Amino acid sequence: MNIRLFKPSLGEAELQAIQGAFDRSWVGLGDKVREFEKEWSKFVGCKSSLGLNSATAALQIAVQAFGFTPGKKIMVPSITFAATAFAPIYNDLEPVFVDVDEDTVSMSLEDMERKYTKDVLAIIPVHYAGHPAQMEQILSFAKAKNLKVIEDCAHTAGANYHGKTLGTWGDIGCYSFEEKKCMTTGDGGMMCSDDEELLNYIKPARWLGINKDGWMRYTSDMNAEKANAYHWHYEISLLGYKYNMNDLAASIGLAQLKKLPAMNQRRSAIIRSYMDGIKNLNRIKPLLPFEPEQYVYQMFGVRFQERDKLILFLKSKGIASGVHYFPLYKHPYFRQWENDCPVAEKIWTSFVTLPLHVDLSDEEIQYILEALAEADKMI
Ligand SMILES: Cc1ncc(COP(=O)(O)O)c(C=O)c1O
Protein backbone atom coordinates (compact mmCIF):
# COMPACT_ATOMS: atom_id res chain seq x y z
CA MET A 1 0.00 0.00 0.00
CA ASN A 2 1.09 3.54 -0.69
CA ILE A 3 -1.68 5.90 0.32
CA ARG A 4 -1.18 9.60 -0.32
CA LEU A 5 -2.21 12.23 2.19
CA PHE A 6 -3.72 14.57 -0.41
CA LYS A 7 -4.30 14.09 -4.12
CA PRO A 8 -6.13 16.17 -6.71
CA SER A 9 -8.94 14.52 -8.66
CA LEU A 10 -8.38 15.38 -12.31
CA GLY A 11 -9.55 13.77 -15.53
CA GLU A 12 -10.82 14.06 -19.07
CA ALA A 13 -12.96 17.15 -18.40
CA GLU A 14 -9.95 19.16 -17.21
CA LEU A 15 -7.86 17.95 -20.18
CA GLN A 16 -10.57 19.06 -22.59
CA ALA A 17 -10.81 22.41 -20.84
CA ILE A 18 -7.07 22.94 -21.30
CA GLN A 19 -7.39 21.87 -24.94
CA GLY A 20 -9.96 24.66 -25.35
CA ALA A 21 -7.47 27.24 -24.09
CA PHE A 22 -4.86 25.84 -26.51
CA ASP A 23 -7.36 26.03 -29.37
CA ARG A 24 -8.14 29.66 -28.61
CA SER A 25 -4.42 30.24 -28.17
CA TRP A 26 -5.07 32.43 -25.14
CA VAL A 27 -3.43 30.95 -22.07
CA GLY A 28 -2.68 34.13 -20.06
CA LEU A 29 -5.10 36.41 -18.21
CA GLY A 30 -8.18 36.36 -20.41
CA ASP A 31 -11.84 35.61 -20.80
CA LYS A 32 -11.73 32.24 -19.00
CA VAL A 33 -10.51 33.97 -15.84
CA ARG A 34 -13.49 36.31 -16.14
CA GLU A 35 -15.89 33.40 -16.70
CA PHE A 36 -14.47 31.51 -13.72
CA GLU A 37 -14.80 34.62 -11.52
CA LYS A 38 -18.47 34.96 -12.51
CA GLU A 39 -19.16 31.28 -11.86
CA TRP A 40 -17.37 31.47 -8.52
CA SER A 41 -19.45 34.49 -7.47
CA LYS A 42 -22.60 32.52 -8.34
CA PHE A 43 -21.35 29.44 -6.50
CA VAL A 44 -20.52 31.17 -3.22
CA GLY A 45 -23.23 33.82 -3.51
CA CYS A 46 -21.18 37.02 -3.58
CA LYS A 47 -21.24 40.07 -5.84
CA SER A 48 -17.69 40.00 -7.09
CA SER A 49 -14.67 37.67 -7.34
CA LEU A 50 -11.09 38.11 -8.44
CA GLY A 51 -8.92 35.25 -9.79
CA LEU A 52 -5.33 35.05 -8.54
CA ASN A 53 -2.41 32.67 -8.71
CA SER A 54 -2.76 31.62 -5.04
CA ALA A 55 -4.58 32.24 -1.80
CA THR A 56 -1.31 33.63 -0.47
CA ALA A 57 -1.59 36.39 -3.11
CA ALA A 58 -5.31 36.82 -2.37
CA LEU A 59 -4.63 37.32 1.35
CA GLN A 60 -1.81 39.75 0.65
CA ILE A 61 -3.77 42.04 -1.66
CA ALA A 62 -6.91 41.67 0.47
CA VAL A 63 -4.95 43.35 3.26
CA GLN A 64 -3.54 45.90 0.80
CA ALA A 65 -7.09 46.83 -0.28
CA PHE A 66 -7.74 48.55 3.05
CA GLY A 67 -4.67 50.80 2.95
CA PHE A 68 -3.81 50.27 6.61
CA THR A 69 -1.17 52.47 8.20
CA PRO A 70 2.17 50.59 8.31
CA GLY A 71 3.19 49.34 11.74
CA LYS A 72 -0.36 48.53 12.85
CA LYS A 73 -1.54 44.99 13.65
CA ILE A 74 -3.73 42.17 12.37
CA MET A 75 -4.92 39.26 14.50
CA VAL A 76 -4.37 35.75 13.11
CA PRO A 77 -4.75 32.33 14.73
CA SER A 78 -1.56 30.77 16.07
CA ILE A 79 -2.28 27.42 14.40
CA THR A 80 -2.52 28.03 10.66
CA PHE A 81 -0.43 27.97 7.49
CA ALA A 82 2.27 30.62 7.08
CA ALA A 83 0.32 32.47 4.36
CA THR A 84 -2.22 33.73 6.91
CA ALA A 85 0.45 35.47 8.97
CA PHE A 86 2.51 36.62 5.99
CA ALA A 87 -0.43 38.67 4.67
CA PRO A 88 0.01 41.45 7.26
CA ILE A 89 3.82 41.21 7.13
CA TYR A 90 3.87 41.68 3.32
CA ASN A 91 1.94 44.91 4.01
CA ASP A 92 4.31 46.24 6.71
CA LEU A 93 1.88 45.27 9.45
CA GLU A 94 2.43 42.98 12.41
CA PRO A 95 0.66 39.67 13.04
CA VAL A 96 -0.78 39.16 16.52
CA PHE A 97 -0.95 35.43 17.22
CA VAL A 98 -4.22 34.58 18.92
CA ASP A 99 -4.62 31.32 20.80
CA VAL A 100 -6.99 28.68 19.43
CA ASP A 101 -10.14 27.09 20.71
CA GLU A 102 -9.33 23.71 22.23
CA ASP A 103 -12.04 21.83 20.28
CA THR A 104 -12.31 23.59 16.91
CA VAL A 105 -8.71 24.88 16.57
CA SER A 106 -10.09 28.16 15.23
CA MET A 107 -9.38 31.52 16.81
CA SER A 108 -10.26 31.68 20.52
CA LEU A 109 -12.77 34.48 21.09
CA GLU A 110 -11.55 35.02 24.65
CA ASP A 111 -7.93 35.34 23.58
CA MET A 112 -8.94 37.62 20.69
CA GLU A 113 -10.55 39.99 23.21
CA ARG A 114 -7.59 39.65 25.56
CA LYS A 115 -4.99 40.44 22.89
CA TYR A 116 -6.90 43.27 21.24
CA THR A 117 -5.22 46.69 21.41
CA LYS A 118 -5.98 49.96 19.65
CA ASP A 119 -3.29 49.12 17.06
CA VAL A 120 -5.26 46.13 15.77
CA LEU A 121 -7.08 47.00 12.53
CA ALA A 122 -8.24 43.65 11.19
CA ILE A 123 -8.78 39.96 11.91
CA ILE A 124 -8.02 37.02 9.62
CA PRO A 125 -9.99 34.04 10.95
CA VAL A 126 -9.19 30.66 9.41
CA HIS A 127 -11.80 27.93 8.92
CA TYR A 128 -9.33 25.34 10.12
CA ALA A 129 -9.56 22.09 8.08
CA GLY A 130 -12.90 23.46 6.88
CA HIS A 131 -14.53 23.70 10.29
CA PRO A 132 -16.17 27.12 10.58
CA ALA A 133 -14.72 29.80 12.82
CA GLN A 134 -17.39 31.44 14.99
CA MET A 135 -18.24 34.11 12.46
CA GLU A 136 -21.18 35.75 14.26
CA GLN A 137 -19.08 36.45 17.36
CA ILE A 138 -16.02 37.48 15.36
CA LEU A 139 -18.10 39.88 13.25
CA SER A 140 -19.83 41.43 16.22
CA PHE A 141 -16.46 41.97 17.94
CA ALA A 142 -15.07 43.43 14.69
CA LYS A 143 -18.05 45.75 14.38
CA ALA A 144 -17.70 46.97 17.95
CA LYS A 145 -14.00 47.73 17.40
CA ASN A 146 -14.31 48.86 13.77
CA LEU A 147 -12.07 46.09 12.43
CA LYS A 148 -11.98 44.60 8.94
CA VAL A 149 -12.45 40.84 8.61
CA ILE A 150 -10.71 38.77 5.92
CA GLU A 151 -11.73 35.10 5.95
CA ASP A 152 -9.02 32.58 5.12
CA CYS A 153 -11.06 29.91 3.32
CA ALA A 154 -8.11 27.88 2.00
CA HIS A 155 -9.53 24.72 3.62
CA THR A 156 -13.14 25.04 2.52
CA ALA A 157 -15.07 25.64 -0.69
CA GLY A 158 -18.80 26.18 -0.72
CA ALA A 159 -19.79 25.29 2.85
CA ASN A 160 -22.94 26.88 4.14
CA TYR A 161 -22.64 28.15 7.71
CA HIS A 162 -25.84 29.38 9.36
CA GLY A 163 -27.33 30.35 5.98
CA LYS A 164 -24.31 31.99 4.34
CA THR A 165 -21.36 30.49 2.47
CA LEU A 166 -18.07 30.62 4.36
CA GLY A 167 -16.03 33.36 2.73
CA THR A 168 -19.00 35.71 2.37
CA TRP A 169 -19.28 36.61 6.06
CA GLY A 170 -16.35 38.98 6.32
CA ASP A 171 -15.33 41.95 4.15
CA ILE A 172 -13.30 39.68 1.86
CA GLY A 173 -12.99 35.88 1.57
CA CYS A 174 -9.88 34.18 0.14
CA TYR A 175 -9.92 30.65 -1.33
CA SER A 176 -7.12 28.37 -2.47
CA PHE A 177 -7.02 26.11 -5.53
CA GLU A 178 -3.57 24.72 -4.79
CA GLU A 179 -3.34 21.01 -5.62
CA LYS A 180 -4.19 19.69 -2.13
CA LYS A 181 -7.36 21.72 -1.73
CA CYS A 182 -11.09 20.89 -2.16
CA MET A 183 -10.71 21.74 -5.84
CA THR A 184 -7.62 22.72 -7.78
CA THR A 185 -6.26 24.71 -10.69
CA GLY A 186 -2.69 23.50 -10.09
CA ASP A 187 -2.02 26.66 -8.16
CA GLY A 188 -4.64 29.35 -7.86
CA GLY A 189 -6.74 31.48 -5.59
CA MET A 190 -9.89 33.57 -5.52
CA MET A 191 -10.86 36.65 -3.58
CA CYS A 192 -14.54 37.38 -3.12
CA SER A 193 -16.56 40.22 -1.68
CA ASP A 194 -19.91 41.96 -1.78
CA ASP A 195 -18.05 45.26 -1.93
CA GLU A 196 -17.61 45.59 -5.69
CA GLU A 197 -15.99 48.98 -5.35
CA LEU A 198 -13.30 47.55 -3.07
CA LEU A 199 -12.53 44.65 -5.43
CA ASN A 200 -12.48 46.98 -8.43
CA TYR A 201 -10.05 49.22 -6.57
CA ILE A 202 -7.64 46.38 -5.73
CA LYS A 203 -8.04 44.44 -9.00
CA PRO A 204 -5.07 46.06 -10.79
CA ALA A 205 -2.76 44.97 -7.94
CA ARG A 206 -2.85 41.44 -9.34
CA TRP A 207 -1.24 42.61 -12.61
CA LEU A 208 1.46 45.16 -11.86
CA GLY A 209 -1.11 47.80 -10.93
CA ILE A 210 -2.08 48.15 -14.59
CA ASN A 211 -5.65 49.33 -15.00
CA LYS A 212 -6.36 47.58 -18.33
CA ASP A 213 -5.38 43.96 -18.82
CA GLY A 214 -4.37 42.51 -22.19
CA TRP A 215 -7.77 40.95 -22.78
CA MET A 216 -9.51 44.26 -22.19
CA ARG A 217 -7.25 46.01 -24.66
CA TYR A 218 -7.61 43.22 -27.22
CA THR A 219 -11.40 42.92 -27.06
CA SER A 220 -12.47 46.44 -26.33
CA ASP A 221 -9.93 49.08 -27.26
CA MET A 222 -8.88 47.35 -30.51
CA ASN A 223 -12.49 47.40 -31.69
CA ALA A 224 -12.80 49.36 -34.98
CA GLU A 225 -15.62 51.48 -33.54
CA LYS A 226 -13.10 52.72 -31.01
CA ALA A 227 -10.64 53.79 -33.65
CA ASN A 228 -9.53 56.69 -31.51
CA ALA A 229 -9.13 54.71 -28.29
CA TYR A 230 -5.54 54.56 -27.09
CA HIS A 231 -5.51 50.76 -26.95
CA TRP A 232 -1.84 50.84 -25.91
CA HIS A 233 -2.45 53.27 -23.07
CA TYR A 234 -2.79 52.25 -19.45
CA GLU A 235 -2.27 53.72 -16.02
CA ILE A 236 -0.65 52.45 -12.83
CA SER A 237 -2.11 53.98 -9.70
CA LEU A 238 -1.22 51.46 -7.00
CA LEU A 239 1.51 49.00 -6.07
CA GLY A 240 1.04 45.87 -8.16
CA TYR A 241 2.39 42.35 -8.41
CA LYS A 242 2.35 39.49 -10.92
CA TYR A 243 -0.38 37.58 -9.12
CA ASN A 244 -3.04 37.08 -11.80
CA MET A 245 -4.74 33.79 -12.53
CA ASN A 246 -4.30 32.68 -16.16
CA ASP A 247 -6.71 31.09 -18.65
CA LEU A 248 -5.10 27.65 -18.38
CA ALA A 249 -5.75 27.59 -14.63
CA ALA A 250 -9.21 29.12 -15.02
CA SER A 251 -10.15 26.48 -17.62
CA ILE A 252 -9.22 23.74 -15.16
CA GLY A 253 -11.07 25.65 -12.44
CA LEU A 254 -14.30 25.82 -14.46
CA ALA A 255 -14.18 22.05 -15.01
CA GLN A 256 -13.38 21.41 -11.32
CA LEU A 257 -16.12 23.75 -10.13
CA LYS A 258 -18.72 21.66 -11.98
CA LYS A 259 -17.49 18.61 -10.06
CA LEU A 260 -17.06 20.39 -6.73
CA PRO A 261 -20.45 19.53 -5.16
CA ALA A 262 -19.90 15.82 -5.92
CA MET A 263 -16.28 16.00 -4.74
CA ASN A 264 -17.39 17.68 -1.51
CA GLN A 265 -19.96 14.92 -0.99
CA ARG A 266 -17.31 12.26 -1.41
CA ARG A 267 -15.08 14.02 1.14
CA SER A 268 -18.01 14.07 3.57
CA ALA A 269 -18.66 10.36 3.01
CA ILE A 270 -15.00 9.56 3.72
CA ILE A 271 -15.06 11.59 6.93
CA ARG A 272 -18.24 9.80 7.98
CA SER A 273 -16.48 6.44 7.43
CA TYR A 274 -13.49 7.61 9.47
CA MET A 275 -15.73 8.84 12.30
CA ASP A 276 -17.70 5.57 12.39
CA GLY A 277 -14.51 3.55 12.22
CA ILE A 278 -12.75 5.28 15.13
CA LYS A 279 -15.71 5.90 17.41
CA ASN A 280 -14.97 2.87 19.60
CA LEU A 281 -11.23 3.41 19.86
CA ASN A 282 -9.98 4.19 23.34
CA ARG A 283 -7.21 6.69 22.77
CA ILE A 284 -7.34 7.87 19.15
CA LYS A 285 -9.98 10.61 18.90
CA PRO A 286 -11.18 12.86 16.06
CA LEU A 287 -9.15 16.05 15.79
CA LEU A 288 -12.27 18.20 15.43
CA PRO A 289 -16.00 17.98 16.12
CA PHE A 290 -16.38 17.14 12.40
CA GLU A 291 -19.86 17.71 10.96
CA PRO A 292 -19.49 16.31 7.43
CA GLU A 293 -23.22 16.71 6.75
CA GLN A 294 -22.93 20.44 7.36
CA TYR A 295 -19.51 21.60 6.26
CA VAL A 296 -16.83 21.02 3.64
CA TYR A 297 -13.50 19.73 4.95
CA GLN A 298 -10.18 19.72 3.17
CA MET A 299 -8.47 17.79 5.97
CA PHE A 300 -9.29 14.97 8.35
CA GLY A 301 -7.23 14.22 11.42
CA VAL A 302 -7.10 12.60 14.83
CA ARG A 303 -5.59 13.41 18.20
CA PHE A 304 -3.30 10.89 19.88
CA GLN A 305 -0.89 11.48 22.73
CA GLU A 306 1.76 9.19 21.18
CA ARG A 307 1.59 11.23 17.99
CA ASP A 308 5.08 10.61 16.64
CA LYS A 309 4.86 6.86 17.23
CA LEU A 310 1.55 6.77 15.37
CA ILE A 311 3.04 8.65 12.42
CA LEU A 312 5.92 6.15 12.19
CA PHE A 313 3.56 3.20 12.56
CA LEU A 314 1.36 4.50 9.72
CA LYS A 315 4.46 5.07 7.61
CA SER A 316 5.45 1.41 8.12
CA LYS A 317 2.05 0.49 6.67
CA GLY A 318 2.44 2.75 3.64
CA ILE A 319 -0.02 5.35 4.93
CA ALA A 320 1.04 8.98 4.60
CA SER A 321 0.13 11.33 7.44
CA GLY A 322 0.99 14.87 8.48
CA VAL A 323 0.84 17.51 11.20
CA HIS A 324 -1.20 20.64 10.52
CA TYR A 325 0.21 22.73 12.04
CA PHE A 326 2.66 23.49 14.75
CA PRO A 327 2.10 26.97 16.18
CA LEU A 328 3.53 29.47 13.70
CA TYR A 329 5.46 31.47 16.30
CA LYS A 330 7.68 28.42 16.82
CA HIS A 331 9.27 28.97 13.40
CA PRO A 332 12.48 30.99 13.61
CA TYR A 333 11.06 33.72 11.35
CA PHE A 334 7.85 34.21 13.31
CA ARG A 335 9.49 33.97 16.76
CA GLN A 336 9.72 37.76 16.97
CA TRP A 337 5.90 37.84 17.25
CA GLU A 338 5.62 34.99 19.75
CA ASN A 339 3.10 35.47 22.50
CA ASP A 340 1.24 33.45 25.03
CA CYS A 341 -0.90 30.68 23.45
CA PRO A 342 -1.27 27.97 26.13
CA VAL A 343 -4.02 26.03 24.33
CA ALA A 344 -2.07 25.84 21.05
CA GLU A 345 0.97 24.66 23.04
CA LYS A 346 -1.07 21.98 24.73
CA ILE A 347 -2.96 20.52 21.78
CA TRP A 348 -0.73 20.66 18.72
CA THR A 349 1.51 17.81 19.91
CA SER A 350 -1.34 15.32 19.49
CA PHE A 351 -2.40 16.27 15.92
CA VAL A 352 -2.16 13.72 13.11
CA THR A 353 -3.60 14.49 9.68
CA LEU A 354 -4.81 11.41 7.78
CA PRO A 355 -5.37 10.83 4.05
CA LEU A 356 -8.38 12.65 2.65
CA HIS A 357 -8.98 12.94 -1.06
CA VAL A 358 -11.81 12.23 -3.43
CA ASP A 359 -10.23 9.19 -5.08
CA LEU A 360 -9.47 7.40 -1.80
CA SER A 361 -11.14 4.00 -2.17
CA ASP A 362 -13.35 2.31 0.44
CA GLU A 363 -10.71 -0.46 0.69
CA GLU A 364 -8.01 2.09 1.43
CA ILE A 365 -10.17 3.72 4.13
CA GLN A 366 -10.78 0.29 5.66
CA TYR A 367 -7.05 -0.42 5.59
CA ILE A 368 -6.30 2.89 7.35
CA LEU A 369 -9.00 2.19 9.95
CA GLU A 370 -7.53 -1.24 10.67
CA ALA A 371 -4.10 0.34 11.13
CA LEU A 372 -5.58 2.93 13.52
CA ALA A 373 -7.32 0.21 15.54
CA GLU A 374 -4.05 -1.72 15.80
CA ALA A 375 -2.17 1.41 16.86
CA ASP A 376 -4.82 2.30 19.45
CA LYS A 377 -4.20 -1.04 21.20
CA MET A 378 -0.52 -1.49 20.59
CA ILE A 379 1.32 1.85 20.82
C1 LIG B 1 -4.86 28.17 5.96
C2 LIG B 1 -4.18 28.45 4.65
N3 LIG B 1 -4.17 29.72 4.19
C4 LIG B 1 -3.60 30.04 3.01
C5 LIG B 1 -2.99 29.08 2.24
C6 LIG B 1 -2.30 29.49 0.99
O7 LIG B 1 -2.85 28.92 -0.14
P8 LIG B 1 -2.04 28.91 -1.52
O9 LIG B 1 -1.20 27.70 -1.53
O10 LIG B 1 -3.14 28.88 -2.56
O11 LIG B 1 -1.26 30.17 -1.59
C12 LIG B 1 -2.99 27.75 2.67
C13 LIG B 1 -2.35 26.69 1.84
O14 LIG B 1 -2.14 25.58 2.24
C15 LIG B 1 -3.59 27.43 3.91
O16 LIG B 1 -3.58 26.17 4.37
Residues 169 and 20 both lie in one domain: yes
Would the CB of 152 count as within 6 Å of ligand 1? yes
Residues 78 and 151 both lie in one domain: yes
Q: At 187, which CATH number?
A: 3.40.640.10
Residue 5 lies in a domain: no
Residue 6 lies in a domain: no
What is the rounded distance in angstroms from the CA atom of residue 127 to the CA atom of residue 64?
21
Residues 293 and 311 both lie in one domain: yes
Residues 199 and 298 both lie in one domain: no
Residue 67 lies in a domain: yes
Can you give the residue range of the structural domain that contains 222? 12-258
What is the rounded distance in angstroms from the CA atom of residue 182 to the CA atom of residue 267?
9
- pLDDT of 216 reads 73
Would the CB of 84 count as within 6 Å of ligand 1? yes
Question: Do you find a cis peptide bond into 274, omega within 30 degrees of 0?
Answer: no
Q: Please name the amino acid found at residue 261.
A: P
Whether residue 355 contacts residue 364, with contact meaning beta carbons closer than 8 Å, is answered with yes
Residue 155 lies in a domain: yes
Residue 62 lies in a domain: yes
Would the CB of 287 count as within 6 Å of ligand 1? no
154 alpha carbon – ligand 1 mean position (Å): 5
- What does the pLDDT look like over 20-65, one tens digit per residue? 999 999 999 999 999 999 999 999 999 999 999 999 999 999 999 9
Distances (CA, A) of 196 to 143, 165, 193, 312: 20, 18, 7, 49
Strands (DSSP E) contained in the chain are 48-52, 73-77, 94-98, 120-123, 148-152, 160-161, 164-165, 172-176, 189-193, 285-286, 300-303, 351-354
Residues 53 and 202 both lie in one domain: yes
Helices 247-278, 362-378: axis angle to 10 degrees equals: 50
Would the CB of 343 count as within 6 Å of ligand 1? no
Strands 351-354 and 300-303: antiparallel
Mutate which of 60, 74, 78, 81 for ligand 1 pocket (most atoms within 8 A of beta carbon) = 81
- pLDDT of 212 reads 81
Residues 313 and 246 both lie in one domain: no
Q: Which of 212, 237, 258 is the last residue of a domain?
A: 258
- What does the pLDDT look like over 265-306, one tens digit per residue? 999 999 999 999 999 999 999 999 999 999 999 999 999 999
CB atoms under 10 Å from CB of 207, counted, come to 20
Residues 253 and 267 both lie in one domain: no
What is the rounded distance in angstroms from the CA atom of residue 332 to the CA atom of residue 109?
27
**Could you give the number of structural domains in the chain?**
2
Residue 89 lies in a domain: yes
Residues 254 and 112 both lie in one domain: yes
Q: Binning pLDDT at 50, 70 and 90, where does residue 229 land?
A: low
Residues 250 and 187 both lie in one domain: yes
Residue 2 lies in a domain: no
Q: Binning pLDDT at 50, 70 and 90, where does residue 213 land?
A: confident
Residues 204 and 332 both lie in one domain: no
Residues 221 and 342 both lie in one domain: no
- pLDDT of 227 reads 65
83 alpha carbon – ligand 1 mean position (Å): 6
Evaluated on CA atoms 139, 65, 216, 14, the torsion sign reads negative
- pLDDT of 232 reads 79
Q: What would the mean pLDDT of 202-212 be, rounded to a whole number?
A: 95
What is the rounded distance in angstroms from the CA atom of residue 331 to the CA atom of residue 82?
10
Residue 7 lies in a domain: no
Q: Which of 258, 287, 314 is the last residue of a domain?
A: 258
Residues 275 and 347 both lie in one domain: yes
Cα angle for residues 157, 164, 13 (degrees, 5° grid): 30
- pLDDT of 215 reads 73
What is the rounded distance in angstroms from the CA atom of residue 40 to the CA atom of residue 308?
40
Q: Which of 218, 237, 258 is the last residue of a domain?
A: 258
Would the CB of 376 count as within 6 Å of ligand 1? no
Distances (CA, A) of 337 to 18, 333, 352: 43, 9, 26
> For ligand 1, what atom is nearest to the CA of residue 187?
10
Phi and psi dihedrals of 132, rounded to 5? -65, 135
CB atoms under 10 Å from CB of 184, counted, come to 22
CB atoms under 10 Å from CB of 377, counted, come to 9
Would the CB of 81 count as within 6 Å of ligand 1? yes
- What does the pLDDT look like over 58-114, one tens digit per residue? 999 999 999 999 999 999 999 999 999 999 999 999 999 999 999 999 999 999 999
| pTM recorded for the entire structure | 0.96
Q: At 284, which CATH number?
A: 3.90.1150.10
Mutate which of 176, 206, 243 for ligand 1 pocket (most atoms within 8 A of beta carbon) = 176
